[in-house]
Amino acid sequence: MSTRLREAAIRHLRAQGTTSADGSVRRLTMDIEVGGRIEMVTLSLRDDELQRVSSDGQNDGPYVIAALEFVAGLEQRDDSQSPGAGAVMSRRQLESPQSNELADALDELLIAVTRVGIDKARYAPSVDAALGRVVEVAPQPTPPGLGRFIGRLRQEVLSGQPRRAARILDGSARLADALRVEIPTEASEERIRAWLGPRPGSVRELELLYDRTMIEVGREWLAGIDRASVERRYLIDLTSGAIYREDRPRQASASLGPCPRQMHVGLAEVEHGPAPQRIRVRQYEVRPEVPGESWDRLYQVARRSFAQLTETYRRAVQVYPTLAEPFALIAPYRIEHGDGFVAIDSEGHQLALERTERRGSVLAFYDLLNQGLEPAWLAGRLTDMGATLCISPFAFATRNRDYVRL
């Protein structure tokens, strides 16, 4: 990095940081695109020293240098001058032919499934061909959102659940509509971003988190184009109780450490999108052994009232019928056993414990309940059976054990 760039950035930040009646600038955060990839760069002054960091973990990489060149350009311009073409991040659309091809392929898939019906779709060559066409015309490598759609649709077709399959196809139809929008709207761009990732040159909607303590309570491999193509990790903020997901495609890197683990997150990006929101941890420290006081805090932030869970779940799947897979942390008042186990809060609201999904974790959880274990808190993915909201358990704690992973 040249001394000229560093000094120009310091001068600009120092000038902008001068306190006035209108306020002052303490930190600059920018989305910088280099070679078709976008990273976030943060510049600030601390004790008159330039602090710089990129979301790729470098402080002298190409993204930082591009940000400094942008700031240097701001310093050299008069206020009446507009930024040069290289300094403005344009909102370019996907190439129209590619967008229309993918939209048409999604429509063809919907038609193919509708013609044969859910009960026969698993054996229908036309459905297989339509799925293959979606993958063929999609951006490469296949975006995680689109891959998860394919994995979920195959699962629901195999399970013969017409209501869930229809919901998933409804989401794909909404994506097709968004891809055909001539003048992009905030809603259409957000939907495309959730499915296909940020488009080149687009401005990502990100929330930044600083200095948070989180506990990872569970992780699983999810089906995408392949049977187990994405590892999903569930992280809970011990301050707010907010739940995030960290998705790691196979053979890609992610934050380090076993499960469970405690993380002190120095900097993280949270994407706007389906629940639970996706997080990208940029700066962090891992504590493999979670201390007892952190488990106590996890219990404190768990939901004790189930009244709003159904409405929260309904809103999530209404906005993102395909991609929303809500996760919850609850502290039941008691567990009752009738036709199946039911979690009940202190006001009498019920939350059914998943019993139709014959996964190993569900069976293990039922075995432990039959042994008389009473969970103090329970973490799991929310789902529904008709009009009944259910929770599929991943992990829980009892009075004698801080954590039991299923």
**pLDDT(96) > 50:** no
Question: What is the CB neighbour count within 10 angstroms for residue 175?
Answer: 23
Closest to 34 (Cα-Cα) out of 62, 65, 69 = 62
Q: Is 49 exposed, middle or buried (0-12, 13-18, 19+ CB in 10 A)?
A: exposed
Residue 173: pLDDT over 80: yes
Hey, what are 368's tokens?
């432990």
Q: Which region holds residue 2: left if phi is over 0, alpha if psi is between -120 and 50, else beta? A: beta
Query: Which burial class, exposed, middle or buried, applies to 277 when counting CB atoms under 10 A from its CB (0-12, 13-18, 19+)?
Result: middle
Q: Mean pLDDT over residues 369-376, rounded?
A: 84
Question: Does the structure show a pLDDT above 90 at 175?
Answer: yes
Question: Which domains, ranges and CATH numbers included, belong to the chain?
Answer: 3-87 (no CATH), 96-196 (no CATH), 206-298 (2.40.50), 302-405 (2.40.50)
Residue 21, pLDDT > 70, answer: no
Look at residue 20 and tell me whether its pLDDT is greater than 60: no
* 243-247 average pLDDT score: 94
pLDDT digits (tens, 9 = 90+) for 279-303: 999 999 999 899 999 999 999 999 9
Across 10-24, 79-93, 299-313, 374-388, the highest mean pLDDT is recorded for 299-313
- Between 400 and 109, the more confident residue is 109
Among the residues of 45-95, which ranges form H helices?
Answer: 62-76
Q: E-assigned strands of 151-259?
A: 206-222, 230-237, 243-249
- List CB contacts of 12: < 8 A, sequence separation 6 or more: 71, 72, 74, 75
pLDDT at 371: 82
Q: What percent of the chain has pLDDT over 90?
A: 41
pLDDT for residue 406 is more than 60: yes
Quick: pLDDT tens for 215-226.
999 998 888 888
Classify residue 181 by its DSSP letter: -
How many CB atoms sit inside 10 A of residue 48's CB?
8
Distance of CA 106 to the CA centre of its chain: 23
Which helix or strand (DSSP H or E) is residue 32 part of?
Answer: strand 27-34
Contact of 262 with 286, CB cutoff 8 Å? yes
- pLDDT of 23 above 60: no
| Contact criterion met (CB below 8 Å) for 378 and 364 | no
Asked if residue 332 has a cis previous peptide bond (ω within 30° of 0), the answer is no
**Residue located via tokens 């929101």:** 277
Residue 170 and residue 193: Cα distance in Å, rounded?
Answer: 17
Extract the tokens encoding 360.
């190993």
- Reference 382, options 374, 371, 373, 391; nearest CA is 391
Assess contact for 147 and 229: CB atoms under 8 A: yes
Between 161 and 15, the higher pLDDT residue: 161
What pLDDT does residue 374 have? 84
Question: Is a pLDDT exceeding 70 seen at residue 356?
Answer: no
Tell me the pLDDT band of 237, cut-offs 50, 70 and 90. very high
Residue 141: asked if its preceding bond is cis (omega within 30°), the reply is yes
Q: Which ranges of 233-333 would DSSP assign to H, the alpha helix?
A: 292-301, 309-319
Helices (H), 60-142: 62-76, 96-116, 118-121, 125-137
- In the predicted structure, residue 67 carries a pLDDT above the cut 90: no
Residue 95 has pLDDT above 70, yes or no: no
In this prediction, residue 114 carries a pLDDT of 92
Residues 198 and 321: their CA atoms lie apart, in Å, by 20
Q: How many C-alpha atoms does 31 have within 13 Å on its Cβ side?
A: 19
Helix, strand, or coil (residue 318): helix
The one-character DSSP state at 123 is: T
Higher pLDDT, 223 or 1: 223
Beta strands 49-54 and 230-237 are unpaired
Confidence label for 153 from pLDDT (cuts 50, 70 and 90): very high
Report, as an integer, the average pLDDT of 60-68: 81
Mean pLDDT, range 302-324, rounded to an integer? 92
Q: How many Cα atoms within 13 Å fall on the side-chain side of residue 209?
A: 25
**What percent of the chain shows pLDDT beyond 70?**
84
Q: What is the pLDDT of residue 17?
A: 57
Residue tagged 């990732």 (tokens)? 197
Binning pLDDT at 50, 70 and 90, where does residue 251 land?
confident
